[in-house]
Amino acid sequence: MKQEDEGLVWMVAGALGSMALGITLIPLRSLTSASNLAFVFLGFTIIVAELGGRSAALVTALLSAMSLDFFLTEPYLTLTISKREDVVAFVALAACGLIAAAFGRRRERWSELAGRAGKDLDVVEKLVEQLRGGVPLDEILGELKRSFGLSAMVLRDAAERILAAVPAGSAPALIPEVQLAPDTLLPSDGSRLRVGFRGLRLPEGGGRLRLGRDDGLVSLDLWEGDVQGFGLEESRTLTIAASILALELSRRIGPARAAIVEAPRPSPPVR
């Protein structure tokens, strides 16, 4: 189940559960005050915050306060409150519920970071497996394109010849003018940054990563496909993947270049 769908499920469960708790506790309203019954709602809100995140906890906190007011404070079955202590219980429950929702947001953020880290590690591991298995470069670039939400990727050698491109046969004709820093993906020329909801965006006309040795063994051209941008960890993973790809290409292309340079020239014909 996707994270968005799971959050929606917990949101509905929190709302229905809050109303169900109010109905369940009706027999106890004559035995104890509403302030004591509020602890039950608070515990339920904390559970929802831990399992469902901030949005579900926020809905649960609000519905719990309303359920306490509607079912358990006098006059019953209305949203009015006649006793001062019940007002205090209502406000305290709402405030504590919002605090629990805030902590649920922090847990949700850490969960997202942990999930992203696991995905990033999977991307690097799969890249290494593909390189070891001799998978074609087009297929490798296609996997990286899907993993990082790019619209196009082109791998070129030092002579600007295309080594691989995705989507296949639709490589952009123009070479990106903006050089990207190999460790941050920031424009090396200090041009204006583009920022999305998640973080840094690639330049509008694409960006180029120089890979390999100083002479520019290969270049990886990137065009964005998601206007939300890259998160910090995601951009680092992309640069790591590009570096691994460069090392492998250096290993493949280096010996081939050396063989060309060291190959004996044919002797001139003897007259």
Predicted local confidence at residue 21, as pLDDT: 93
Say if residue 266 is exposed, middle or buried (CB neighbours under 10 Å; 0-12, 13-18, 19+).
exposed
Query: 222-227 contacts: CB < 8 A, separation 24 or more?
Result: 222/150, 222/152, 222/153, 222/176, 222/180, 223/150, 223/151, 223/152, 223/153, 223/172, 223/176, 224/149, 224/150, 224/151, 225/145, 225/149, 225/150, 225/151, 225/152, 226/149, 226/150, 226/196, 227/196, 227/201
Measured between alpha carbons, how far is 35 from 89 in angstroms, rounded to an integer?
A: 5
Predicted local confidence at residue 173, as pLDDT: 64
Say if residue 262 is exposed, middle or buried (CB neighbours under 10 Å; 0-12, 13-18, 19+).
exposed
Q: Is 265 helix (H, G, I), strand (E, B) or coil?
A: coil
Say if residue 150 is exposed, middle or buried (CB neighbours under 10 Å; 0-12, 13-18, 19+).
buried
Q: By the 8 A CB rule, do 33 and 87 touch?
A: no
Predicted local confidence at residue 26, as pLDDT: 93
Predicted local confidence at residue 265, as pLDDT: 47
The structure's pTM equals: 0.55
Predicted local confidence at residue 13, as pLDDT: 93
Q: Give the phi and the psi of residue 151 in degrees, each rounded to 5.
A: -90, -30
User: In terms of Cα–Cα distance, which of 233, 232, 228, 186 is closest to 207?
Assistant: 186
Predicted local confidence at residue 20, as pLDDT: 94
Predicted local confidence at residue 107, as pLDDT: 60
Predicted local confidence at residue 23, as pLDDT: 94
223: which strand partners? 152
pLDDT tens sequence for the chain (271 residues): 555 667 788 899 999 999 999 999 999 988 888 888 888 998 898 888 878 877 888 888 889 989 988 999 888 888 888 888 888 888 888 888 788 777 765 665 655 655 566 677 788 888 888 888 888 888 999 998 988 889 899 988 888 888 888 887 666 667 888 888 887 888 887 777 888 887 888 888 889 988 875 555 788 899 988 888 887 778 888 888 888 888 887 776 555 444 433 444 444 554 4
Predicted local confidence at residue 256, as pLDDT: 45
Q: Which domains does the chain have, with CATH numbers?
A: 3-114 (no CATH), 135-257 (3.30.450)
